A and B are shown apart, each in its own frame.
Chain A
Amino acid sequence: MIEHRKMERKTPRVGLNLTPMIDVVFQLLIYFLLATNFALGEQVFRMDLPERGGSSMIDDPFDIPEEPLRIRVLSTAPDRQTLSINLQSQYPQPSDLSGLERFLRDNRSGAEIGLFLEDHPIRIVPAPDTRWAHVVDVFNAVIRTGYRSVHFADPES
């Protein structure tokens, strides 16, 4: 019995002290938790860019290509903060984004008058110094009214 006790006492316990490592790992974890900025809330508008020069494939030889509706977008003074929208001259000019939305919605095929089908080509024509936010606002307004063929034209000086 005494021999057995001696044996028990003599056997050394080999243990790794993990406490400092856990401390450091927790510090790292807290740092990353606080420092990481997830891109939550980012959303996208899907847009297909038309090919250069158009497609050489002709679906219907008697199909007359539709004249796109051009929406000019300007960022005006002061400090390019104000959005200004111009439609082609034959259409009534909207004063703001909601006016543009109303015009597009009222004239979409399926409504009472129906000037444009929902796949009618729409070109957003910004000026070189137009703010990206204004271009995206107009793009959003057009998409919201149900049009599918919306593209950007090269900036008009």
Chain B
Amino acid sequence: MSHLHERGPARVEANLTPMIDITFLLVVFFVVVSTISEVESVDMELPKPEPTASAPPPERTRSVLNVLPDDDGEAIGYRLNATEYPLGEEGVESLQSALVVLLRSSPDLRINLRADRRTSQRHIAPVLNAITEANTRIGKGTPARVNLVVVTRRMEIE
């Protein structure tokens, strides 16, 4: 009588632990990233200059300022990181105060400005002025740094 027979047929089992580990990591990654994208990347039609002289965004401290568009591309408000501000003087003043706090905490901050290609300049100029004023108020002595966000042709095809 053999020992093998005694123990019964051999059980073939795949070790699923590494796969589960990786899958969990992927899920956590997507949960975190999709939350960030939702806050920072408001769905809009970004300008698409062609051929463009733009460059990939630098890896440094930055905040994202969205000019929120309606269906026709006109502005309905502003969003700095996760906080929204209404159009008009009051909203722009609140935005400016928030920018002062941000620039004080990290002087090397760059503001990524995202605006729909159809938005009128009358809604974008106050934002640029607010950034300039906020930078002047903290007395840094260097110009405010802004990144104008555009989209490349490759993205448009996708």
Is chain B found bound to chain A in the same assembly?
A: yes
Q: Determine if B136 and A51 form an interchain contact, defined as CB atoms under 8 angstroms apart.
A: yes
Q: How far does the Cβ of B90 sit from chain A's closest Cβ, in whole Å?
A: 19
CA gap between A22 and B122 in the complex, in Å: 52
Give every chain A residue within 8 A of B151 (Cβ-Cβ): 41-43
Interface centre among B122, B129, B145, B156 (most CB of A within 10 A): B122
Q: How far does the Cβ of A59 sit from chain B's closest Cβ, in whole Å?
A: 14
List residues of B (33-63) whose CB comes within 8 Å of A's CBs.
33-34, 37, 40-41, 46-49, 51-58
Q: Of all chain B residues, which has the CB nearest A138?
A: B49
A49 within 8 A of B: yes
B10 within 8 A of A: no
Q: Determine if B53 and A137 form an interchain contact, defined as CB atoms under 8 angstroms apart.
A: no
**Chain A 16-47: CB-based contact to B (< 8 A → 1; otherwise 0):** 00100010011011001101111111111111
B144 within 8 A of A: yes
For A, the interface residue count at a CB cutoff of 8 angstroms equals: 46
Q: Of all chain B residues, which has the CB nearest A141?
A: B49
Q: Determine if A43 and B54 form an interchain contact, defined as CB atoms under 8 angstroms apart.
A: yes
For B, the interface residue count at a CB cutoff of 8 angstroms equals: 59
B112 within 8 A of A: yes
Contact of B133 among A50, A52, A141 (CB under 8 A): A52
Q: Determine if B135 and A49 form an interchain contact, defined as CB atoms under 8 angstroms apart.
A: yes
B149 within 8 A of A: yes
A104 within 8 A of B: no
CA gap between A80 and B147 in the complex, in Å: 25
CA gap between A34 and B125 in the complex, in Å: 37
Q: How far does the Cβ of A31 sit from chain B's closest Cβ, in whole Å?
A: 8
Q: Of all chain B residues, which has the CB nearest A47?
A: B146
Contact of B121 among A36, A46, A130 (CB under 8 A): A130
Q: Determine if B121 and A135 form an interchain contact, defined as CB atoms under 8 angstroms apart.
A: yes
Decide if the interface of chain A is mainly helix, strand, loop or mixed: mixed
Q: Determine if A126 and B121 form an interchain contact, defined as CB atoms under 8 angstroms apart.
A: yes
List residues of B (103-127) whose CB comes within 8 Å of A's CBs.
110, 112, 115-122, 124-125
Q: Determine if A18 and B54 form an interchain contact, defined as CB atoms under 8 angstroms apart.
A: no
Q: Of all chain A residues, which has the CB nearest B146?
A: A47
What are 24 A-B pairs with beta-carbon distances under 8 A? A22-B20, A22-B23, A26-B23, A28-B30, A40-B155, A41-B155, A41-B158, A43-B56, A43-B152, A44-B54, A44-B58, A44-B148, A45-B148, A46-B55, A49-B132, A128-B125, A129-B120, A130-B120, A130-B121, A131-B119, A131-B120, A131-B121, A132-B117, A140-B150
User: Which residues of A come within 8 Å of B, CB atoms?
Assistant: 18, 22, 25-26, 28-29, 32-33, 35-52, 80, 126-133, 135-137, 139-141, 143-144, 152, 154-155
> Which 5 pairs, one residue from A and one from B, show the smallest C-beta to C-beta distance?
A41-B155, A32-B30, A133-B117, A140-B49, A44-B147
